[in-house]
Amino acid sequence: GAGVSQTPSNKVTEKGKYVELRCDPISGHTALYWYRQSLGQGPEFLIYFQGTGAADDSGLPNDRFFAVRPEGSVSTLKIQRTERGDSAVYLCASSQGQGVIYEQYFGPGTRLTVT
């Protein structure tokens, strides 16, 4: 079946612009996660959705970052007033439920470059 998909695969934007990154999870997966991998580091947790609600947004770096999942399926990560430090690979993952027994399936990521 179809895996997690993310669009766009690459995004180049100018400093100060607004960007939206989209994630289509595996159908039926209730849990959705966003991670960010900066150069030379491992992916870092940003936010976790259970259904439509953000159950844990403790990883969002500041209030320029916001994510939604209005119908409990597709999620959009929104970044306002982008900065060069936001350049990273943004990964989305989904799982059937919450907890270590549920594998997180990752998308291929969106590479964001802020110039």
Q: Which residues bind other proteins (CB under 8 A)?
A: 3-4, 31, 33, 35, 40-45, 48, 55-56, 59, 91, 95, 98-100, 103-109
Nearer to other proteins, 85 or 108 (CB): 108
Task: Give the nearest distance from C-beta 5 to other proteins in angstroms.
Answer: 9
Q: Closest Cα to residue 34, out of 2, 70, 4, 12?
A: 4
Task: Give the nearest distance from C-beta 17 to other proteins in angstroms.
Answer: 25
Q: Closest Cα to residue 108, out of 38, 7, 39?
A: 7
Task: Give the nearest distance from C-beta 70 to other proteins in angstroms.
Answer: 21
At 40, phi and psi to the nearest 5?
80, 5
Nearer to other proteins, 26 or 82 (CB): 26
**Which tokens in the block code for residue 70?**
């209005």
Cβ neighbors of 41 (< 8 A, separation 6 or more) are: none
